[in-house]
Amino acid sequence: MELWRITYFTVLTAAGATVLMLPPGLLLAWLLARREFRIRVVLDTIVSLPLVMPPVATGLILLLLCSPRSAIGRLLEAAGLEIVFTWKAVVLAMTVMGLPLFVRTARAGIEQVDRRYEAVAATLGATPLRVFFTITLPLAFPAVLAGAVLGFARALGEFGATIMIAGSIPGVTRTLAVAIYSYTETGRDREAALIVGVSASIAFAALWLSNRLAARVATPTRKERASGTPAGLHG
Amino acid sequence: MILLDFTLHQGAFTLDVHERLESRVTALFGHSGAGKTTVLDSIAGLRTPSSGTIAVGERVLFASDRRVNVPVYERHVGYVTQDVALFPHMNTRHNVLYGRRRGERLALESVAAMLEIDALLDRRVSQLSGGERQRVALARALMSAPEVLLLDEPLAAVDLELRRRILPYLERVRDELGVPIIYVTHDRAEVHAFADHVIRLDRGRVVASGLASETLESLIPNP
Amino acid sequence: MPRVLMALWVGLGVAAVAPTEVLVSAAISLTDALEELGPMHTASGGATIRFNFAASNVLARQIVNGAPADVFISADEAQMQVAEKAGAVIGSTRVDLLGNRLAVLATASLAGRIKDARSLLQPDVRRIAIADPDAVPAGVYARQYLQAARVWDEARTRVVPVGNVRAAVAAVDGGNVQAAVVYESDATTARNAVLAFVVSGPEAPKIVYPAAIVTASQHRADAERFLQFLRSARAREVFTKHRFVPLGGFD
């Protein structure tokens, strides 16, 4: 039945987008949480833009970037990569719109990790990369996971940017959100209502899970630390 | 031989150290705020001096004139901080093994035996007592085969009875492993019991430096 | 509930605005022509005309749901039927205003190789934009044409349905699709895409733009005056200029 096909497609692309968000998202979250550098505020702002701009605006920017008229578009064409009006555009839109949410949540989690653990790990010979994967990430894991779930939920409900760059092609780029719009535009109100129900249920489940995970963020690192006056690592 | 010849400015505070350490155990003694922890941080690479040189044996860890600043993870420094900071998401064994370098022969069994933590290895960090955490942290630092051991008030948070029990472990480390130790404390008794050489710091400057037995007696105030 | 809100909105509008405004909901393909004709009408003493452009099926739904339009100009009879069946337009005021023809636009590099429906099946024509073939008139006409030309089944997989006919123009203009089936009147609005051919002959669908006065209109007299103006010689000149085919009418 078409509804289940659309649901499956939406969940699959949203999951793909979530996975795609992780490497750049973790890097950005770590940079913003741990590193001082001059353009830090600028970077933070750019990363947060899709959260604040109208999604169609973000979609339009993506469309212009991927069109054969732009420099990037020409590169893509040369590489034989077609993005606009394909499932790749769906994943791209979802990734771009979900990334800021993931970065915000993951960053907060990383900031909560006690830097002393990272410093001690370094004295024990761990390179910054090893410190990140063996100390920072495990200790920030609940927040990172909550961020991923949030990013996934956002990807599931993504509409504005998606319709701009992927359109609403039945069986090819029609996600749940896009289908609701298309169906109401063409008078298929009852089917649209059904999809609204499915979307709402999935979103509810995802948000509930994210909140449960986020609640576990602050507690584990604090309670297991030895008591005593803090080492003067910062003077 | 450890060379500490550097200056570190931080706001209104200036740390000025020019010492050659040749003993097995050097105690850094002084009131809080004197800069003792900052000295340890500088040796470990967690703080960067404004100028000067820091060397451990043949290795130069920091030399401002030659733009040398070895990153923390390459300094081979064993650092037991004041709050111990055992990794809460790993059990004792994984904590102790975290810093083990490939090719280093130091065996877990001998270190665990020396510090009597064999029975603790499979426990979660949260299940350890204060004294046990100290010994585990010490074992963790030792297992990274350091060229110098930095201990920041290791007995400060520990009661008198426990102190008497832990001191022998420190002595064992000193005697059996041959790794030079720099030891921060504000307790005279510890200095007396454990250190060969004492450096007294007051507001960032060295006001006394010499053999433990002698220096303690002379309370030269900073003019 | 929407009707109450609409009535409130209309009431406020009437109270706030002194000169008479006539709201015309018109198919989006009429944008350029009507934006020229509106001020012309006002300049010669008529009411101020405001326009609401969208795909005709969207407009029909709005009007059926009580949107405060005065005139409805649809790009096909089907959507006008929708409005008439719901009693949202006054049947006796309905007139066939314009005709149109379909045209195929293509990217500059491909236009020379696209001469007819069959040539749309070339492998280089990877995607073809049309308005939504389920409900938007331009899309319905496009589908009818491609079906009549017996290429619809093969072409379906490369068809990209978009929201309205101007979106189809934008898609081929931007190079994201290689061809688009739009109205002949839209061909001149394309900036980068090129007219490949105009659809004519037996396969060409009959395109009619009906217009009617909205039942709930508060400015019936002014609305009728504008509709009359649209059928005058001056208006017909403008429509022809924009490549529409004026139907019936008088001086």
Using CA atoms, how far apart are residues A71 and A86, in angstroms rounded to an integer? Answer: 20
Region B170-183: mean pLDDT is 85
pLDDT of residue A136: 97
Residue A170: list chain C partners with CB under 8 A: 161
Domain ranges within chain A, ordered by starting residue: 2-111+140-217
Flag whether residue A167 sits within 8 Å of chain C, measured between CB atoms.
Answer: yes
Q: How many CB pairs under 8 A join A and C?
A: 45
Q: What is the CATH number of domain B23-34+76-215?
A: 3.40.50.300
Using CA atoms, how far apart are residues C75 and C57, in angstroms rounded to an integer? Answer: 9
Domain ranges within chain C, ordered by starting residue: 2-99+208-246, 102-198
Distances in Å between the Cα of B88 and the Cα atoms of A127, B68, B158 are 19, 34, 20
pLDDT of residue B190: 75
Flag whether residue A189 sits within 8 Å of chain C, measured between CB atoms.
Answer: no
Coil, strand or helix at A171: coil
**Using alpha carbons only, what angle is made at residue B15 by residues B9 and B16, rounded to the nearest 5 degrees?**
115
- Cα–chain center distance at B217: 24
Amino acid identity, position A158: E
Tokens (6 digits) for A223 = 């309670």
Inter-chain residue contact C57 with A186, CB threshold 8 Å: yes
Using CA atoms, how far apart are residues A234 and A132, in angstroms rounded to an integer? Answer: 20
pLDDT of residue A42: 94
Inter-chain residue contact A69 with C175, CB threshold 8 Å: yes
Q: Smallest Cα–Cα separation from C88: which of C71, C102, C76, C104?
A: C71
List C47's β-bridge partners, or say none: none
**A vs C contact (3+ beta-carbon pairs below 8 A):** yes
Q: Please check whether the domain covering A2-111+140-217 is classified as CATH 3.40.50.300.
A: no
ipTM score:
0.89
More confident of the two residues C132 and B105: C132
pLDDT of residue A227: 42
List C96's β-bridge partners, or say none: C210
pLDDT of residue A92: 96
pLDDT of residue B82: 85
Residue A138: list chain B partners with CB under 8 A: 89
Using CA atoms, how far apart are residues C250 and A11, in angstroms rounded to an integer? Answer: 58
Tokens (6 digits) for A155 = 């990807």
Share of chain C above pLDDT 70, in %: 94
Which chains pack against C, by 3+ Cβ pairs within 8 A? Answer: A
Let me know if the fold of C2-99+208-246 is the same as that of C102-198: yes
Instruction: Give the residues of chain A that fall short of pLDDT 70.
Output: 1, 214, 217-235
**Which of A186, A188, A189 would best serve as a mutation to test chain C binding (most C beta carbons within 10 A)?**
A186
Enter the pTM of the model.
Answer: 0.82
Q: Smallest Cα–Cα separation from B178: which of B206, B156, B147, B200?
A: B147
Domain ranges within chain B, ordered by starting residue: 23-34+76-215
Q: Is C16 exposed, middle or buried (0-12, 13-18, 19+ CB in 10 A)?
A: exposed
Q: How many CB pairs under 8 A join A and B?
A: 103
Inter-chain residue contact A186 with C132, CB threshold 8 Å: yes
Residue A85: list chain C partners with CB under 8 A: 127, 160, 171, 176-177
Residue B140: list chain A partners with CB under 8 A: 124
Cα nearest neighbour of A235 on chain B? B38
Asked if residues C49 and C38 have their Cβ atoms less than 8 Å apart, the reply is: yes
Inter-chain residue contact A186 with C192, CB threshold 8 Å: no
For the domain made up of C102-198, give the CATH fold: D-Maltodextrin-Binding Protein; domain 2 (3.40.190)
**pLDDT tens, B47-87?**
999 999 999 999 999 999 999 999 999 999 999 998 889 99
Using CA atoms, how far apart are residues B87 and A2, in angstroms rounded to an integer? Answer: 51
Tokens (6 digits) for B101 = 């370098």
> With 50 as the cut, is the pLDDT of residue B97 above it?
yes
Residue C134: list chain A partners with CB under 8 A: 186
Residue A123: list chain B partners with CB under 8 A: 44-46, 72-73, 75, 77-79, 99, 141, 144
DSSP string covering chain C: -HHHHHHHHHHHHHHH--S-EEEEEEEGGGHHHHHHHHHHHHHTT--EEEEEEE-HHHHHHHHHTT---SEEE-SSHHHHHHHHHTT-B-GGG-EEEEE--EEEEE-HHHHTT--SSGGGGSTT---EEEE-TTT-HHHHHHHHHHHHTT-HHHHGGGEEEESSHHHHHHHHHTTSSSEEEEEGGGGGG-SS-EEEEE--STTSPP-EEEEEEBTT-S-HHHHHHHHHHHTSHHHHHHHHHTT-EE-S---
Asked if residues B197 and B2 have their Cβ atoms less than 8 Å apart, the reply is: no
Region C183-205: mean pLDDT is 93
d(CA A70, nearest CA chain C) in Å = 10
Region C49-65: mean pLDDT is 94
Q: Smallest Cα–Cα separation from B106: which of B147, B71, B60?
A: B147
pLDDT of residue A137: 96
- Cα–chain center distance at A91: 11
Which helix (H) or strand (E) segment holds residue A13: the answer is helix A2-34
Flag whether residue A39 sits within 8 Å of chain B, measured between CB atoms.
Answer: no
Amino acid identity, position B109: E
Mean pLDDT value across chain A: 88
Using CA atoms, how far apart are residues A30 and A128, in angstroms rounded to an integer? Answer: 11
**C vs B contact (3+ beta-carbon pairs below 8 A):** no
Flag whether residue A225 sits within 8 Å of chain B, measured between CB atoms.
Answer: yes
d(CA A201, nearest CA chain C) in Å = 27
- From 3.40.640.10, 3.40.309.10, 3.90.1570.10, 3.40.190.10, which CATH number describes the C2-99+208-246 domain? 3.40.190.10
**pLDDT tens, B140-156?**
999 998 999 999 988 77
Asked if residues C127 and C162 have their Cβ atoms less than 8 Å apart, the reply is: no
Mean pLDDT value across chain C: 92
**pLDDT tens, C79-110?**
999 999 999 999 999 999 999 999 999 999 99
More confident of the two residues C118 and B217: C118
Inter-chain residue contact A185 with C162, CB threshold 8 Å: no
d(CA A150, nearest CA chain C) in Å = 30
Q: At a CB cut-off of 8 Å and minimum separation 6, what does C7 contact?
A: C66
Closest CB to C175: pick one of A67, A170, A187. A67
Which chains pack against A, by 3+ Cβ pairs within 8 A? Answer: B, C
pLDDT of residue A207: 83
Using CA atoms, how far apart are residues B124 and B117, in angstroms rounded to an integer? Answer: 13
Inter-chain residue contact B72 with A114, CB threshold 8 Å: no
Residue A116: list chain B partners with CB under 8 A: 81, 83, 85
pLDDT of residue B171: 84
Q: Smallest Cα–Cα separation from C239: which of C25, C89, C19, C35?
A: C35
Which helix (H) or strand (E) segment holds residue B26: the answer is strand B25-29
Inter-chain residue contact C174 with A67, CB threshold 8 Å: yes
Inter-chain residue contact A233 with B84, CB threshold 8 Å: no
Q: Smallest Cα–Cα separation from A205: which of A129, A126, A150?
A: A150
